[in-house]
């Protein structure tokens, strides 16, 4: 497909780390694809901030309604997302919004898994082939607990520290006074090396208890309580 018929859109939101917006701009510039940033206001939607188990549905519904409007103005026929078949193993209420709005998921339709996508991306020379998996910062918060800007910023800062220490993939699950940290299983020995530094930083952020999940990183572990 000619590049002039493509438009990449990035949501600018408190629910995503700021570095992701910077990265999206650099990657689209490198690929020479048109790029637009839209501001979303999830924190003004009580259906989202009350953090029910269908939280992601309300987020995706608002976002993709915006994208459908942009596509209509631009004369673009299809809105797509990057869902893949690996996502089927987790609880994904946002899929309902995509289905309702008839958003296409070409990677999923091609039956590609996350691992398949990484292999193909590497073969194509894409910078994203080994990029750490990303998810909305609200996914670090147990259902039922109110989501606030202050809470999201604390999680972002905590995970930023782990990234600066060299962890390829990390999550900080926030349980108010306690944080449950997930890193890749093979990086657990590295975590122990930085244990004192991590504990000191996390306590400065307001956590009284700092824990390491011995199962290691796994996408959507907050959802394990509802399976």
- 3 state SS for 53-102: CCHHHHHHHHHHHHHHHHHHHHCCCCCECCCCHHHHHCCCCHHHHHHHCC
Residue 206: CB atoms within 10 A of its CB come to 13
Fold of 3-126: Rossmann fold (3.40.50)
Low-confidence ranges of the chain (pLDDT < 70): 1-3, 225-227
DSSP, res 214:
T
**What is the structure's pLDDT at 73?**
94
Give residue 227's pLDDT: 55
Residue from 116, 150, 156 nearest 135 by CA: 156
What is the per-residue pLDDT for 127?
87
* pLDDT value, residue 89: 79
SS3 175: strand
| Amino acid 65: pLDDT | 95
- Supply the pLDDT for residue 92: 87
Give one word for 205, left, alpha or beta, with left for phi > 0 and alpha for psi -120 to 50.
alpha
Name the strand (E) or helix (H) holding 26. Answer: helix 18-31
Per residue in 133-168, pLDDT tens? 888 999 999 999 999 999 999 999 999 999 999 999
What is the predicted pLDDT for the residue at 3?
63
Provide the Cα torsion 89, 93, 98, 100; round to 10°.
130
Cβ atoms within 10 Å, residue 84:
20
Would you state the structure tokens that stand for residue 180, as one six-digit string?
């449950």
The pLDDT score that the predictor gives to residue 1 is 58
Q: What is the pLDDT of residue 226?
A: 62
What are the pLDDT digits (tens) for 70-99? 999 999 999 999 999 998 877 888 999 999
């Amino acid at each position: 497909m000619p590049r002039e018929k493509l438009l990449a859109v990035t949501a600018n939101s408190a629910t995503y780390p700021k570095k992701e917006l910077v990265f999206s701009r650099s990657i689209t510039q490198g690929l020479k694809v048109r790029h637009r940033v839209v501001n979303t206001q999830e924190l003004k939607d009580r259906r989202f901030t009350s953090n029910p188990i269908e939280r992601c549905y309300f987020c995706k519904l608002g976002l993709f309604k915006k994208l459908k409007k942009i596509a209509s103005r631009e004369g673009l026929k299809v809105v797509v997302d990057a869902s893949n078949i690996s996502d089927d193993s987790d609880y994904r209420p946002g899929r309902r919004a995509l289905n309702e709005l008839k958003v296409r998921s070409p990677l999923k339709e091609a039956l590609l898994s996350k691992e398949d996508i990484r292999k193909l991306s590497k073969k194509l020379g894409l910078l994203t082939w080994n990029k750490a998996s990303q998810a909305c910062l609200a996914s670090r918060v147990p259902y039922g607990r109110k989501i606030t800007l202050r809470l999201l910023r604390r999680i972002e800062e905590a995970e930023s520290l782990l990234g600066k220490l060299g962890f390829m993939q990390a999550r900080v699950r926030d349980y108010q006074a306690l944080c449950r940290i997930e890193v890749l299983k093979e990086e657990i020995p590295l975590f122990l090396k930085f244990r004192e530094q991590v504990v000191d930083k996390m306590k400065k952020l307001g956590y009284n208890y700092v824990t390491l999940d011995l199962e290691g990183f796994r996408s959507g572990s907050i959802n394990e309580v509802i399976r």
